[in-house]
Amino acid sequence: MLALRRHQLVRLNDTGWAALRERTWDDTARACLAHWEAHGLPLVVTQQRAGLPEDHIALGLPAPTQWQRRRLALQVPERGVLYFDEFPAAAAIAGLLPPPIRSAWLNLAKALEDLATAPRVYGSFGWQRLTGLPYLHAGSDLDLKLMVSDAETADRVVAVMSAPAFTRPRLDGELVFPDGSAVAWREWDAWRTRRADRVLVKRLHGVAMETNNTWLGEYQPC
């Protein structure tokens, strides 16, 4: 059994691509998958739902504009994995931003790195940086995956994210705890400041609405 994480990238070997080619696809999906295979582009780990065939993993491919922004749900055998990869580090996507805000973005990325969050960018900005294909549009959010060691660190991260030097693109993303539990940083802020009495926690095998601190285990706030 492979150790999987949400927002983890997967590079496939020939076995993995062959398994996908054997499935029935419409022309749009098949063309997109053919491009992905030809260029060795990654897929992403998605929720591992009940009923997944034994020794298979669930992956996703959010297609760019030229393939109608289709979201392809895929299943490949574990033996089809060549290696795992990660989305780009936050600083690496600076070139996709308008020049006037690049410096502010790099300062924010550095502040988050200083909190040991290993900030990485997924979503439209991450995929465009990885593939060179057109994902971005005027309303694209900037999605960050932020690793946090405990609730106190999560609060510090939210303080940094809440006071950026720019307001566009909108900052979105998740705080990810060591056990893989993840919460949208804005929802965490609302929950911690008692503007919400529950918080949606995402995990590899599902999601749950939590109403107290028990889900945090050893990462609970003081």
| CA dist list (Å): 79 to 27, 74, 143 | 27, 15, 30
- Whether 3 is in a domain gets the answer no
- Coil vs helix vs strand at 70: coil
Q: Identify whether residues 101 and 163 lie together within a single domain.
A: yes
Identified catalytic residue from 55, 114, 143, 172: 143
Residue 206's pLDDT is what? 92
> Considering the domain boundaries, does residue 205 fall inside one?
yes
- B/e letters for 47-77, b = 16+ CB within 10 Å, e = fewer, are ebeeeeeeebbbbebbbbeebeeeebebebe
Which of 85, 103, 133 is a domain's end point?
85
d(CA 100, CA 98): 6
End-to-end Cα, the chain, rounded Å: 35
> Rounded distance, CA 151 to CA 221, Å?
5
pLDDT digits (tens, 9 = 90+) for 27-38: 999 999 999 999
The last residue of one of the domains, among 85, 120, 145, is 85
Residue 94 is predicted with a pLDDT of 97
Tell me, yes or no, if 143 is annotated catalytic. yes
Clarify whether residues 58 and 164 are in a common domain: no
* 170 phi, psi to nearest 5 deg: -70, 135
Q: Are residues 80 and 95 in the same domain?
A: no
Residue 217: half-sphere exposure toward Cβ, Cα within 13 Å:
7
Q: Which domain holds residue 68?
A: 9-85
Same domain, 96 and 61: no
pLDDT given at position 214? 84
Q: Which two tokens stand for residue 66?
A: 């030229």
Q: Is 161 part of any domain?
A: yes
Closest Cα partner for 125 from 94, 158, 86, 163? 94
Percentage with pLDDT > 90 across the chain: 87
Mean pLDDT over 161-180 rounds to: 87
Q: For the chain, what is the mean pLDDT? A: 93
Is 155 catalytic? The answer is no
User: What number of other Cβ atoms are within 10 A of residue 37's Cβ?
Assistant: 16
193 and 178 within one domain: yes
The answer to whether position 145 is within a domain reads yes
If asked whether residues 156 and 114 sit together in one domain, one would say: yes
pLDDT reading at 168 higher than 90? no
* pLDDT tens digits along 175-196: 999 999 999 999 999 999 999 9
Tokens read off for 165: 């030097």
* Residue 1, domain member (yes or no): no
Indicate if 99 and 170 belong to the same structural domain.
Answer: yes
Task: Give me Rg for the CA atoms of the chain.
Answer: 18
Q: Is the pLDDT of residue 65 over 60?
A: yes
In a domain, 4, yes or no: no
pLDDT digits (tens, 9 = 90+) for 192-218: 999 999 999 999 999 999 988 888 877
Encoding tokens for residue 116?
A: 């040991």
Residue corresponding to tokens 């997109």: 32
State pLDDT tens for residues 84-130. 999 999 999 999 999 999 999 999 999 999 999 999 999 999 999 99
Do 120 and 149 lie in one domain? The reply is yes
Q: Which residues pair with 144 in a beta bridge?
A: 121, 173
Question: Quick one: which H or E segment has residue 129?
Answer: helix 123-131
Look up the pTM and report it: 0.93
Residue-level pLDDT at 222: 55
Tell me: do 76 and 30 sit in the same domain.
yes
pLDDT band at 26 (very low <50, low <70, confident <90, very high): very high
79 with 97, same domain?
no
Q: Is the peptide bond before 169 cis (omega within 30 degrees of 0)?
A: yes
Q: Is 87 exposed, middle or buried (0-12, 13-18, 19+ CB in 10 A)?
A: buried
* Same-domain pairing of 71 and 55: yes
Residue 54 and residue 160 in one domain: no
**Residue at which a domain ends, from 85, 106, 127:** 85
121-144 mean pLDDT = 96
Is 17 inside any structural domain?
yes
Q: How many domains does the chain have?
A: 2
Residue 221 binned pLDDT confidence (cut-offs 50, 70, 90): low
Annotated catalytic residue within 141, 150, 155, 172: 141
